[in-house]
């Protein structure tokens, strides 16, 4: 299946570069380009891409506003947003996750990392390193600024003990391979548990599942290490 990508960036040169790169892959294609947030949201509703490769800072309606609009539209439930920006601040990452983005990359990434990132997000997994996952969720998504919880804490009772265990490990930043190794199960089994937990909790993707784990209290944030300041 070909991954259909919508490019959102206010710099035509960058969009052209990304188009050449993505269209060179047999498993993906660029289906449209947008230069601001409003145009991106409108094109997403028209084209229904699998992935929106989204810049944050664009004129008028920015990438975060467009991300929120796309992720809140039930008709675009199959569209996932991958943020790609020069402004890779922790607060931007936190805001992107809160409004529904499935991944976040800095524009310094390698070509292979970008393409792999598109495939990862298209497969329904969050694109954050283990360290970034724990740091961002701990420092931002558990604060009052995070807004209303994505799912009531009592919804965790719908999960089996194993599903909760897998959810905890995912919230700690472990990959599917690492979770499988920790629990002595197959990666396919881990994916199955993740998917069932997402379905029961109404999580759009793995990133939202991690947010719910912290917001509900299933995982408690650890105080930042002094050396990390």
Which pLDDT tens digit goes with each residue over 32-57?
999 999 999 999 999 999 999 999 88
Q: What is the structure's pLDDT at 139?
A: 59
Are 52 and 154 members of one domain? no
Are 21 and 120 members of one domain? yes
Looking at residues 81-104, what average pLDDT do you find?
78
Q: Which of 127, 157, 178 is the last residue of a domain?
A: 127
Is the model's pLDDT at 223 over the cut of 60? no
Are 98 and 146 members of one domain? no
Q: What is the structure's pLDDT at 178?
A: 86
**Residue 134 resides in a domain:** no
SS (H, E, C) the chain: CCEEEEEECCCHHHHHHHHHHHHCCCCEEEEEEECCHHHHHHHHHHHCCCEEEECCCCCCCCHHHHHHHHHHCHHHCCCEEEEEECCCCHHHHHHHHHCCCCEEEECCCCHHHHHHHHHHHHCCCCECCHHHHHHHHHHHHCCHHHCCCCCCHHHHHHCCHHHHHHHHHHHCCCCHHHHHHHHCCCHHHHHHHHHHHHHHHCCCCHHHHHHHHHHCCCCCCCCCCHHHC
Are 34 and 105 members of one domain? yes
Are 99 and 12 members of one domain? yes
Are 51 and 120 members of one domain? yes
Q: What is the structure's pLDDT at 93?
A: 73
> Whole-model pTM?
0.69
Count: domains in the chain: 2
Are 116 and 174 members of one domain? no
Domain that holds residue 149: 139-228
Looking at residues 93-109, what average pLDDT do you find?
80
The CATH number for 172's domain is 3.40.50.2300
Is the model's pLDDT at 91 over the cut of 90? no
Are 112 and 190 members of one domain? no
């Amino acid at each position: 299946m070909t991954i259909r990508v919508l490019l959102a960036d206010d710099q035509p040169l960058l969009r052209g570069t990304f188009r050449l790169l993505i269209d060179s892959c047999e498993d993906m294609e660029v289906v449209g380009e947008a230069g601001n947030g409003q145009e991106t949201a409108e094109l997403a509703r028209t084209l229904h891409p699998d992935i929106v490769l989204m810049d944050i800072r664009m004129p008028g309606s920015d990438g975060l506003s467009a991300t929120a609009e796309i992720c809140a539209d039930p008709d675009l439930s199959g569209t996932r947003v991958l943020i790609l920006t020069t402004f890779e601040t922790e607060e931007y990452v936190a805001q992107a996750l809160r409004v529904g983005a499935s991944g976040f990359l800095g524009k310094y990434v390698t070509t292979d990392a970008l393409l792999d990132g598109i495939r990862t997000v298209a497969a329904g997994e969050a694109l954050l390193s283990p360290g970034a996952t724990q740091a961002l969720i701990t420092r931002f998504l558990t604060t009052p600024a995070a807004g209303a919880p994505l799912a009531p804490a009592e919804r965790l009772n719908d999960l089996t003990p194993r599903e909760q265990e897998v959810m905890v490990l995912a919230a700690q930043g472990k990959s599917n391979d690492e979770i499988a190794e920790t629990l002595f199960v197959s990666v396919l089994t881990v994916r199955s548990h993740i998917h069932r937990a997402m379905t029961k909790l109404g999580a759009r993707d793995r990133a939202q599942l991690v947010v719910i784990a912290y917001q509900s209290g299933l995982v408690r944030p650890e105080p930042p290490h002094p050396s990390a300041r």
